[in-house]
Amino acid sequence: MAHPLWLYRKLSSRGRIGYRSMLMLVVVLGAHVPLLALVGWFTYRHSLALNATIATLLVVVVATLVGAGTVMWALDQLLRPVLMTSESLREYTLNRTLPDLPLEFEDEVGTLMADTSYALNHLNGALAELAHYDRLTGLPNRATFLRRLGEGDASASYALCVLRVANLPKLTLAFGNAPANIATVAFFARLEAGLADTGCERPLLSRIDAELFGFRIEAGATDATPGDRAARLVRGLRQEITVDELRFNPEFELGMALHPSDSTEPEELLDRAIAALAPVAAEGMAVPNPASREASERSRTRARIEQDLRRALERDEFVLHYQPLVDVGKQRVFGAEALIRWNHPELGLLAPGHFIGVAEESGLMDPIGQWVLEAAARQLNAWTGTDLEALRLSINLSARQFRNERIVRHISNALRSNGVSPSRLEIELTETAAMRDSRMTHAILSSLRNLGVTSAIDDFGTGYSSMSYLRTLPFDKLKIDREFVMNVEQRPKSLAICRALIELSDGLGITVLAEGTETAAEVAQMMQLGCNQFQGYYFSKPVPAAMLSDVAASLRLQSVIESSAQAAGLEPRSAPARRLVLV
């Protein structure tokens, strides 16, 4: 059976021909071809003279053209409802403009216009509802809430409160959206009922996001402060919510900002209330956060850092500094760790602690980590043919970057495009990131080892990994965290941990490095335990690439060994007296 659109498909495939032209073509062909064929047959059968034949044909053609023209004009007029409907749909799609289509006709095209108008009006209403109200609870969303706050009395005294159901995401993660939605609706009903005693009308209650509700509490004539009234409200909300056989005990965070003392602008007032969010104690007590202005300022600073971070890569504001890695037993600098710095145009040179947390939370670690990888490969290439060529450069991979399935390819491409041997690069991964998915970690570290890139576990001892991972994961170096190295000569527990890690690593053939060493006594004690590789301010702080050669060459590690031992009252391990070698 032929497809109902076969003729339409056939004509459409002939090029850019409009629907109106298709109809006209069919009309012309339908009117002219049969009539011309009839005239030709009639002329042939009756052997008319040439003049008579021509006259007959002219009459037929003129009559046909007049008739076809009239039919085409009528068809064009009858097509107008279809064309108007099509234009209305396109206009609504592009500009959200509702059509003005007639509704009084009842034939097929009339119902098409009426149904289109109804559907678009219904759709517009639904979109408006979604744009201004929460679909699950029917509450105003953030934008509508702020608009209604702005429509109120600018001098009115009230507390703008935000209440977060802190453990709702856990419920969603554990049991899915359906139970979480049921719990949210039940909580909303409970919140709406509880607000009846606080003077909060329903139009001033809002669902700001998935687990955050906003409302305002008027400054009433009673002696109870808005904070006291909010505390009473929270106490009434703590009752258990039952979803089928599931029992949900909501946990809350409450934030509050005061109008007009904190701000008269609804957006700023809400931001300050959110910045003041804090867990509510079990007894339900909560008061307005007196530091809300400072908390809001911290939030604005964080937002500014995030905004500036997004432009930092484009403006080439990141730089790498390099901290030497030394082997005091062999009296040589064998490597360096590349550490990112942000040369902020206003705040100056910023260490990672000022921006890495923001980068991780805002999803910027991937591009920043890729920049570090490529910058390190370029630097290794720049050291080729210099006295730093033999150094192995270490870079840190974030947990997110390490879990990227293309990370090995990224590393390989960066090295290859800069003509750098993989043996000159070492990847550092924190213990927590390494142990998150041991199977994936094993696969990636094995691929890196096959490529020729070595790997190290950074900050070891601060996570919760099993010692069995030291045996099963194919990494090359273990970096003992500063937490255990600090004052190790004075802290018996740290000393015992460091000794155990060093002895275990020696037995497994894993190199050990003590990071964060800052005193001679720390170096000497770690050397006594059998650790000869170090990194820390005792030897050198991180320096720009242009300074690394001079800094490394200026270190005399024999004198370092001797001074460390003297400071700690320990006997130094024997080592030939010689100047530092860059190897």
Catalytic residues: 515
The 10 Å Cβ neighbour count of residue 390 is 15
3-state DSSP: the chain helix, strand, coil percent, rounded to 5?
55, 15, 30
Where b means 16+ CB within 10 Å and e means fewer, 69-90 reads eebbeeeeeeeebeebbeebee
Report the distance separating Cα 287 and Cα 285, nearest Å. 7
- Check the CA dihedral 243-244-249-251 and report its sign: negative
The 10 Å Cβ neighbour count of residue 256 is 24
Report the distance separating Cα 358 and Cα 142, nearest Å. 24
Report the distance separating Cα 99 and Cα 106, nearest Å. 18
Place of tokens 């213990």: 431
Residue 255, C-beta contacts closer than 8 angstroms, at least 6 positions apart? 161, 162, 164, 273, 274, 275, 276, 277, 278, 289, 292
Residue 331, C-beta contacts closer than 8 angstroms, at least 6 positions apart? 557, 558, 575, 576, 578, 579, 580, 581
Contact indicator for 79, 23 with CB cutoff of 8 Å: yes
Among 222, 176, 220, 228, residue whose Cα is nearest residue 199: 220
Looking from the CA of 317 toward its CB, the CA atoms found within 13 Å total 19
The 10 Å Cβ neighbour count of residue 232 is 16
- Give the E-state strand segments of 290-435 in sequence order: 318-327, 332-344, 348-350, 392-397, 425-430
3-state secondary structure 8-45: HHHHHCCCCCCHHHHHHHHHHHHHHHHHHHHHHHHHHH
List C-alpha distances in Å: 114 to 94, 103, 107, 111, 125.
Answer: 20, 5, 10, 5, 17
Report the distance separating Cα 508 and Cα 500, nearest Å. 12
Contact indicator for 515, 536 with CB cutoff of 8 Å: yes
Place of tokens 């076809």: 68
Report the distance separating Cα 111 and Cα 577, nearest Å. 100
Copy the structure tokens of residue 447.
Answer: 């691929």
- Check the CA dihedral 380-383-385-391 and report its sign: negative
Contact indicator for 318, 369 with CB cutoff of 8 Å: no
Q: What secondary structure does DSSP assign to 295-328, as a single string? A: HHHHHHHHHHHHHHHHHHTTTT-EEEEEEEEEET
Contact indicator for 287, 231 with CB cutoff of 8 Å: yes
